[in-house]
Structure 1
């Protein structure tokens, strides 16, 4: 069964290095980080609170990069996601390390070894660990690779999901004129626009298969993955391109095959499934309002089907679903899904209200009212 991370118990750390002194710079990496953070904190994906998604741009030292990872690992109980974009290099022993701005090819002490990251995430108590490595390899480092799977082989962690861009040089990783690196650009496109013909929600395995197909078709490095247990069923986002198949609208025996509310792990997926129920009835909003008991104004149903957040109360939802023809048992299943999503929504901390900026009062406002300064 697919699973959506609990935002309150999950953390993400996004690290990127775009400027190098001794290696080719990767300017597109600087655009990757805010775009990916925007997706992960959005309602169509994990809806992480902003303080649960750390963006670390241009870390200068090992601690600059790994201290935020350690802090996230200490707090994550559901899912921990760590993303790195930049140069992935090999030292003289063929071991992987991440390039920092001052890193030198072949000298791991100038960067951050993968083993250092591995030690942190291995101690994490999270149920799932997702590692995304958008690492390029310089041309010389590529010559040291024993095979195209070496990067994934080295990065494997028990009980986790690794998604890694194929080892390649900087130019192939970040095509000239493109806003994002090749791998992350395609990754973002899938999460933002979805996949036609796939299910309502996109999990890691679905996204990985799509990335391999699309990047291979474009002649770009093909990503690798290593997954342990069921991490590949982790939901990444709702599928904006989802459309119910007309052939699946009827189940065996001629009964309507309604959307399954238990498969809705995001608010957006729930609301889209709600609208799909009406589409399957073939009834207009006006007709549904007349069928409802008690009757519901068409404008109320229209507002319900165009919401972007969950209704705060269940009553209208239950009346609407019954008017669509769902049985009491089916309506109860929808109510359970609504309650599950409401609990998650309510457990999410409200964003802090920014304090009004404190400005020094101008001299003419300091005097007490009604008092005049005596002239000398």
Structure 2
């Protein structure tokens, strides 16, 4: 055998390669380059002239789902390895609130990565429990929802998080890892494979991690790409990776000529992965004898959920109408109480006294008001009691949809279904039904089915979970030749359960399931009284009325607003707004009509500002952050740059800022800010120093369209979940997620 061609000892070794290019949660963008990177690493390893692994020693897993199954297979393979145990991962990674690294598989939910992803602490345990002499981990991941082409991570050293005693760990980057395009490798894997494919001039005949790392780092830095990191203990960094195929001989006389190197590189990029080895979605399901689990791209198991019926209606309905009416009645009762008690305590309501000085009139009016509001409260309590329901359940499976309730079990098979949607059940219970004043007490969301002609006879009279005593008449949503009939009320559900339900409908119903078009509203601003303006994708400007923000009660107040890239509330009594167009011109539109013919231009060059928000203190001032991260306050009504005041730096680390009412007592607006990791901070006026800010929340990177609205003595927030499109109201000053209230869906 020629010098430099000795085989690397791979006896007792095993490599597990995991690549995730497609994700079910839209919060994780596709990583198209991950598939090619997975194949490239596989081909390099099984190339006899490079990695020297056999096909049986390499287990590639493409787009796996169910992290538990992946961990089970990884643990089993680790237990059977005595030589080198290599784990390679390419895809999205994320960091939990406690700083733990999680590798995202195809069905990982961004809001719950620790229970739906591969926790690195569990991977660490599996590796520590392996009898392998060397454990090597290569991670080509970070996490981001900002751009398809970038994988972003939390501001922590991932190599530190992933460090395991007695093993070697190589990570693509601490913060950002360039993902590459669909027909390329990721930047990190591409440079690693390129380095192995060309070899290290003058290097040893076998390249180890210790030999490769400085050259890999130099190549990445030269291309202005994120810097890699490594951690190694004992002699794990001397683990052989591949033969050195450099054309230039080493100082020990070993090496390969250019013909051999070229052939090896060509083979490394052309050898296909055996179809029996890659874990592709089976169709039909795999029934072979392979000892490695096949990973479907979508969950095949039915989705099941049940509700007890004992949850408050506010937990799963839009009950803002009930809350408004209930609050009005309580205020009326509180106002009337002094009018009854004070005259009695002062002995003004006695025979011969009080009739001439107004005490008796006040007393009588207070009694009438008190009895009226007390009657409303009793009526509302009766309504809530009558709207109680018994338990019910829902199942979505391969055969169709099944529900159970106090009325019995109903089954709706797919061959009798023309379409399935999730939307509001049209049967609102109203307190008043007048054109000028309508209060809808509760609004339910449920599954609707459009039946075929053969299946029309199986349509229910009332959906499962619908209160038996509800006086509202259920309406059929018209759609083509037939209507969509509600078959099941959706009770309290977590964001993850909603995602799983939609995935089950997409999997089992296929083309029968239709996503209800959302309003796709953007540029939400508050314009006084808690009302908001919102712009749809067609450029129409709509006014939504507080406190319910019902789509059925919105009013269009303008068209052609698509040219405006940013709307900013001023907060004055005139309900005026500022609008910035694509050229950076800023205009003032006068409420409540916002006519373009009456607008006034108040500035130019505002396209250099990354964020603009109202000050929140009714002065009409605004806060703005420029491209370098400087925070300025612009003073109304002219907003001149020559009169602005710089009040901070490094604000480009914040993804969202919102001006809110002062609580520090100095009369100047405070600021809420969300950083890249989703942490919510409150910055106190007038200096807005980072050293004095207070963290008051986490996971706010899942929320969009933050709008400050008036609260009771403070500022509340409206925020929309980017995945579920559900709008919530957060009460200030804590903005706790446990106390948030659902306002609407489809935002």
TM-score w.r.t. the length of structure 1 is 0.61
How far apart, CA to CA, are the structure 1 residues paired with 2:151 and 2:196?
A: 30
* Residue number in structure 2 paired with 1:16: 19
Residue 136 of structure 2 is aligned to residue 130 of structure 1? yes
1:270-305: CA deviation from partner (whole Å, max 9, x where unpaired): xx5xx9xxxxxxxxxxxxxxxxxxxxxxxxxxxxx9
Match of 2:617 in 1: none
Paired with 1:59 and 1:196, the residues of 2 have a C-alpha distance of 38
Greater shift in the superposed pair: 58-67 or 155-164: 58-67
Whichever structure has more helix as a proportion of its residues is: 1
What are the equivalent positions in structure 2 for 1:228-247 lying under 5 Å apart?
228-244=233-249
The 3-state SS of whatever aligns with 1:210 is: helix
Structure 2 gaps of 5+ residues are 1-5, 264-273, 275-747
1:142–1:60: structure 2 CA closer, same or farther, 3 Å change rule? closer
Partner of 1:109: 115
**1:145 is the counterpart of 2:154:** yes
List runs of 5+ in structure 1 lacking aligned partners.
Answer: 249-257, 261-268, 276-304, 309-350, 352-376
| Aligned match for 1:83, one of 85, 88, 105 | 88
- Distance verdict in 2 for CA 1:214–1:106, change over 3 Å: farther
User: Post-superposition shift, 1:198?
Assistant: 2.4
CA contact (8 A) 1:37 1:55 kept: yes
Query: Shift of residue 66 of structure 1?
Result: 2.0
- Cα distance in 2 for partners of 1:96, 1:209 equals 25
Q: C-alpha distance in 2, partners of 1:103/1:220?
A: 27
SS of 2:11's partner is: helix
* Counterpart selection for 2:125 from 107, 119, 124: 119
SS state at 1:9 partner: coil
Cα contact 2:174–2:229 (8 A) shared by 1: no
Structure-2 separation of matches of 1:135 and 1:44: 28
Once the two structures are superposed, what CA deviation does each residue of 1:96-122 show, in whole Å capped at 9, x if it has no partner? 101111223352212111011111000
Larger Rg over CA atoms:
2
Structure 1 residues 39 and 143 mapped into 2: Cα distance closer, same or farther (>3 Å)? Answer: closer
- Measured in 2, the distance between the counterparts of 1:121 and 1:46 equals 21
Q: 1:152 to 1:90 in 2, by over 3 A?
A: same
Which residue pairs with 1:196 in the alignment? 201
Give distance in 2, aligned partners of 1:177 and 1:48: 27
Q: Deviations over 1:235-255 (max 9, x none)?
A: 21111114236xx5xxxxxxx
What is the 5 A alignment of 1:29-40? 29-40=34-45
Q: Which region of structure 1 is more displaced relative to structure 2, 220-229 or 94-103? A: 94-103
Once the two structures are TM-superposed, the CA of residue 138 in structure 1 deviates from its matched residue by: 1.0
Q: Shift of the alpha carbon at 1:177?
A: 6.0
1:23-72 residue CA offsets vs partner (Å, 9 max, x unmatched): 11101101111221111111123322211100011110113322332232
Counterpart residue number, 1:50: 55
Among candidates 163, 169, 190, match of residue 170 of structure 2 = 163
CA contact (8 A) 2:180 2:187 kept: yes
Alignment of 1:180-219 (within 5 A): 180-219=185-224
2:586: which partner in 1?
none
Q: 1:6 Cα deviation (Å)?
A: 2.9
Q: How far has the Cα of 1:143 moved from its partner?
A: 8.5
- Size of the aligned set, in residue pairs, is 251
Q: Deviations over 1:122-174 (max 9, x none)?
A: 00111100001111221579988344x2x1111110100000110445xx521
TM norm structure 2: 0.31
Residues 197-246 of structure 1: per-residue CA shift (max 9 Å, x gap): 3233211111111111111111111111100111111221111114236x
CA distance in 1 between partners of 2:99 and 2:90 (Å)? 20
**2-side partners of 1:173 and 1:38: how far apart?**
22
Matched residue, 1:63: 68
Q: Structure 1 4/130 Cα, relative in aligned 2: closer, same or farther at 3 Å?
A: farther
Distance across 2 between alignment mates of 1:50 and 1:242: 27
Shift in alpha-carbon separation, 1:139–1:15, aligned structure 2, 3 A: same
Partner Cα distance (2:89, 2:18) in 1: 5
Contact 2:19 2:38 in 1 (8 A): yes
Structure 1 Cα separation of the partners of residues 93 and 52 of structure 2: 29
State whether residues 9 and 76 of structure 1, in contact with CA within 8 Å, keep that contact through their aligned partners in structure 2.
Answer: yes
Higher strand proportion: 2
- Hey, what's the Cα distance between the residues in 2 that align with 1:185 and 1:142? 15
242 and 143 in structure 1: CA distance in 2 versus 1, 3 angstrom threshold: closer
CA contact (8 A) 1:54 1:68 kept: no
In structure 2, what is the Cα distance between the partners aligned to 1:41 and 1:175?
Answer: 24
CA positional deviation for 1:20: 1.2
Q: Which digits, 9 at most, give the CA deviation of each residue in 1:321-347, with x for residues without a partner?
A: xxxxxxxxxxxxxxxxxxxxxxxxxxx
User: Secondary structure, in 3 states, of the residue corresponding to 1:48?
Assistant: coil
